[in-house]
Amino acid sequence: MNAILESALIIAAADPVDHVVNHKFWTVNGYWIWSGHLGNLLLAAIIVVAGGLWFAKQVETGPESQGNDRFLTKNRFAHMIEALAVYLRDEMVQPLLHERTERFMPFLWTLFFFILVNNLLGLVPILDMIHLISPDLKKAHAAPFGGTPTQNLAITAALALFSVVVFNIAGIKELGIKGYLEHQTGGLPLGNPLLWPVVALVFIIEVAGNLLIKPIALAIRLFANMTAGHILVATLFGFVGAGVELGGLAGTTVSAVSFVGAIAIYFLEIFVAFLQAFVFMFLTTVFISLLSHHGDEHEHHDSSVAHA
């Protein structure tokens, strides 16, 4: 029992960054073949796919013999997921993508739930439990699972790459190659040679924004938010361990205050996990909507106003 308590205190008092950084597990010639973040990514993928298949079974229409009950969702948790998915589609995506909503929802839902599951897995102390069970892995800074995958800039960059490919291809498909290129000029007239230097500058800025700046913003925003919150939680739990080791009234006070603060921040991190998944999905939706026939929408709006 003392050995377990001692190990727990060592984990709590460890470097807070150690709780979120990637941990190698299997290397070949210095290259990381498997790591804790990769393990969590695989676990998240299994959860999303298996959960999606289960969810589909819960919301599918039953046989006619059930009457009106055949349209009801068969599980309360599945009903909550259904309400969340419908809200994202009807309130967030539909106003931006209109008739293209159904086409993009499978991708956007997958993006949201995959990021969400990874964010929430980062709040589960998988890494700490592995190190508690295997001190050798702790000494080697290794783990087959654990950590926060969405804290890894390489992973958030890969997710952003998927987004940039989707919204640029969607723009080309919606506008055509000619219209897509004209869109990058910001609507400036191309017939006046005097404006060509300005057109060239705007074109470079727009292309850089669509291919570089937007994905970088997506990647860094998710990376920074998940890193900051998780390190704060780990730091507060570290103070809990330090207070226990200190002992006495001062140590007890430090531990109690730190523990309450850590729990409060922990619940805040659960909210942030949902928020950052939503922000990533919503910004991707906005970027898709920006590469569309805005002129047609403006004409429709003006016509509606005139009729009113």
Reported as a single tens digit per residue, the pLDDT across 262-280 is 888 889 999 999 999 999 9
Q: Worst-scoring range by mean pLDDT, 38-47, 129-138, 206-215?
A: 129-138
Chain segment 7-40, per-residue pLDDT in tens = 444 445 456 666 677 888 988 888 889 999 999 9
User: Is the pLDDT confidence value at 140 over 50?
Assistant: yes
User: Is the pLDDT confidence value at 203 over 80?
Assistant: yes
User: Residue range 56-74: average pLDDT?
Assistant: 82
pTM, entire model: 0.85
Residue with tokens 């009903």, as numbered in its chain: 79
Closest CA to 17 of 264, 223, 224, 230: 230
User: Is the pLDDT confidence value at 199 over 50?
Assistant: yes
Tokens of 52: 């999606």
Average pLDDT over all residues of the chain: 84
User: Is the pLDDT confidence value at 298 over 80?
Assistant: no
pLDDT at 15: 63
User: Is the pLDDT confidence value at 6 over 60?
Assistant: no
**CA triple 89-90-94, angle to 5 deg:** 80
Please give the residue that has the higher pLDDT: either 282 or 304: 282
Of the chain, the percentage scoring pLDDT greater than 90 comes to 42
User: Is the pLDDT confidence value at 231 over 70?
Assistant: yes
Q: How many CB atoms lie within 10 A of CB 6?
A: 11
Contacts of 38 (CB under 8 A, 6+ apart): none
Contacts of 136 (CB under 8 A, 6+ apart): none
b/e burial code for range 190-206 (CB count within 10 A of at least 16 → b): eeeeeeeeebeebbeeb
